[in-house]
Every structure is written in C-alpha cells, then in structure tokens.
C-alpha cells in the first residue's frame, strides 16, 4: 500500500486477493480516535494473530514458527517414515509412544521444505540451516514476536485506512489470515488503520466471542494466553508424572472410598508401571497368586490425568479409574477420581 489511490487498491487486489474498496470521496472523512499506527500494540496483536501457526508438528521439528510441507522423509527412533500428509502424523506418534522412558530422536532426510510464520516457503538443505531457523524462532518467542495461536479471527474483517491527518482514505476487506498478515506488515509509517468492529473470534478454549474494540481484542488474547499457559503447565506435569511412574514399583499408601481407607486390602501387592504402558500388580507375599496385568496412560488438558485399567473381578480392579493428579513428588503420587474427588488413591514408591 505505497499509495492509497483507487488504481493502486485495484492492483493490490490482484496481487494479494484483498477486496479493496478505497475511495477518494469517503462519507467517513474525519477524526477517528481508534486509529492505530504500524508500530502500535493493536498492530502487533493483529500481525501476530495472523502469523502462520507451525505448532501442530512441533513433536517432529520442535519449531512452532515453521510448518513442515509434504512430502518429507524422516528417521524416527531408528525407523524411516515417509509422510505424505498430516494423516501420517499418527504413525510417528505411535513410534514415539511405544516406550515412555526413551528420548525420541527425529532426523530429517534433507532437503525439506517449510512454510514460515510469514507464509514464505523455504527450502532447508541441511541440519545447520534447520537449526538456524529453530534458533530464530526461539529468539522471536523471547522477544514476544512469535505467533499468537490461541485466537482464531472469523473472516472477513474490514480495515479502515487513514492518513496521518486522520482523514479516511479507504477500506480493505480482509478475507483470510494470510491477507491480514500481509495488510499489517505492508503498513507504512504514514498510514493509520482502524478495525471496523465488531468482529468475531474463537478462543482456544472453544469460546466464541464478539470483539467490539482494540481493548477487547487485547483482553481476549490475555484470556486465551492464560488458558494456553495453564494447559502447558498441565502438559508438563503429565510428562513429569509419567517419568516418575515409568519403570517403577509402588505400594498403595492410601485408598479412600466412601470415607474409608482400604489401603490394607492392598498391603501384599506391588504395583509396577512399565515403560510400555502396562501396569502389573504382583502379590509379594503369596507367590502362587498370578500377576494381574492392566494398562495405563498419562494425559493432560487443564489437569494431568492418569487412567488405570484392570480387568474386572481381580484383587486390584478397584484401583482402575480415571484419575487426575492432585499432588506428586519423586516418591509419592496422590490421585483423585475425575468423577468423585472424595475418592483418593496415593501411591508410594517402593
């Protein structure tokens, strides 16, 4: 947008697909207190919210600023995998999830192509170039310039453009996230803009919101960022709890149901969580009793969860439940039932 005349607006439409309705005779000429410069907080918020989000494949590339493009081939924990689409992510995740006490290793067969947060497609020829992009992303995160991925703006959105004298010079109807990013990054120092509110957006917690001002947009970002932070903390808790459980034997320190502690019923049993997501109960007093084998998974949402599943009609069946992690340390893990928080189970490391 080097000029705001009608003929340039038409050219802009042809280049980036904007629906531009710039006018030399605007009915809205005059002062608008909601105008923003290209260096304003609002401009930064919209530019970051419009960045290409590359976080979906972070388990592969560890870089939220780049989106892997297909096809590509990688070696995952020693197994070569060719990915044609996102549908192949499940294959990689299954390989990574086979054992939960190993360090997952991913090596790409270069060259590969990625799409950056600014929607540029880049060919990466070697590991050094790959590492450089990752370092640049980490720097952007440190500087607060990475993508804001917790809010999805519902398009179209209309931007009103102004001169530095606050005279409206036109409108631009933005149809996509990429077009919004182009609009924001193309703003010149002598150009101002205002968002034609209200707009609608969807937050990462699933909430749909109507936004009526720049301040409300900032508040929506703060709300969803807090949600994302709590979700990330729960994820980190799940990783730590899984590491404590995996390959370790425990005893039932406490098991309270209906206000009664029944831990003595399990005094003769050890509970071992294996590294391949099996849980094995073994009677350490009576060796003639068969081991009881079940399964477990550790997951997270806003809390960390441990799902334990034993077959019915066994000595340890009652320990099977959907639990959330209340507290934990390297030696003690306290679980509460997701459906009845008065039911608590405490494992102590043997």
pLDDT tens digits for 28-42? Answer: 334 566 799 999 999
Q: What are the domain boundaries of the chain?
A: 6-50+150-238, 55-142, 246-349
pTM: 0.82
> What average pLDDT does the chain have?
91
Closest to 50 (Cα-Cα) out of 177, 166, 197: 177
Q: How far apart are CA 261 and CA 253, in angstroms?
A: 10
Per-residue model confidence as pLDDT tens digits over 257-295: 999 999 999 999 999 999 999 999 999 999 899 999 999
Q: Mean pLDDT, to the nearest integer, of 196-220? A: 96
Q: Tell me which of 1.10.760.10, 3.40.50.720, 2.40.128.270, 3.40.50.300 is the CATH number of domain 246-349.
A: 2.40.128.270
Closest to 74 (Cα-Cα) out of 87, 93, 60: 60
Q: Mean pLDDT, to the nearest integer, of 139-153? A: 95
Better-scored residue on pLDDT, 1 or 248:
248
Closest to 18 (Cα-Cα) out of 176, 221, 145, 155: 176
Q: What is the pLDDT of residue 227?
A: 95
Please say if the pLDDT value at position 207 is more than 70.
yes
β partners of residue 116: 66
Better-scored residue on pLDDT, 26 or 287:
287
Lowest mean pLDDT among 95-99, 175-179, 345-349: 95-99
How many CB atoms sit inside 10 A of residue 187's CB?
20
- Give CA separation, 316 vs 242, 269, 281, 293, 313, in Å: 21, 9, 7, 10, 8
Nearby residues of 316 by Cβ (< 8 Å), 6 or more positions away: 266, 269, 271, 281, 292, 294, 310
Q: Mean pLDDT, to the nearest integer, of 292-313? A: 97
Please say if the pLDDT value at position 20 is more than 60.
no
């Amino acid at each position: 947008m080097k000029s705001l005349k009608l003929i340039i607006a038409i050219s802009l439409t042809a280049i980036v697909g904007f629906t531009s309705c710039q006018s030399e005779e605007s009915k809205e000429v005059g002062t608008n207190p909601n105008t923003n410069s290209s260096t304003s907080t609002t401009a930064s918020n919209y530019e970051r919210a419009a960045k290409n989000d590359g976080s979906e494949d972070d388990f592969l590339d560890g870089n939220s600023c780049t989106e892997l493009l297909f096809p590509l081939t990688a070696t995952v924990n020693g197994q070569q995998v060719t990915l044609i689409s996102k549908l192949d992510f499940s294959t990689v995740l299954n390989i990574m999830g086979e054992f939960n006490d190993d360090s997952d290793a991913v090596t790409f067969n270069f060259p590969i192509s990625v799409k950056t947060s600014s929607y540029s497609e880049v060919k990466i020829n070697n590991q050094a170039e790959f590492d450089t992009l990752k370092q640049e992303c980490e720097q952007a995160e440190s500087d607060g310039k990475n993508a804001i991925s917790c809010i999805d703006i519902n398009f179209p959105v209309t931007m009103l453009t102004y001169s530095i004298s606050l005279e409206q010079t036109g409108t631009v109807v933005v149809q996509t996230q990429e077009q919004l990013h182009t609009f924001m990054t193309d703003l010149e120092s002598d150009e101002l803009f205002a968002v034609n509110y209200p707009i609608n957006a969807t937050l990462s917690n699933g909430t749909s919101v109507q936004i009526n001002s720049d301040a409300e947009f900032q508040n929506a970002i703060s709300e969803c960022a807090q949600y994302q932070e709590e979700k990330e903390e729960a994820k980190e808790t799940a990783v730590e709890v899984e590491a404590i459980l995996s390959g370790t034997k425990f005893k039932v320190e406490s098991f309270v149901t209906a206000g009664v502690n029944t831990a003595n019923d399990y005094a003769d049993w050890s509970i071992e969580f294996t590294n391949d997501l099996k849980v094995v109960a073994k009677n350490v007093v009576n060796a003639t009793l068969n081991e009881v084998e079940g399964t477990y998974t550790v997951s997270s949402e806003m809390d960390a969860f441990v799902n334990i599943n034993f077959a019915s009609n066994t000595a340890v069946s009652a320990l099977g439940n959907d639990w959330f992690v209340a507290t934990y340390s390297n030696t003690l893990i306290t679980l509460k039932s997701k459906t009845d928080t008065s039911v608590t189970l405490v494992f102590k490391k043997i």
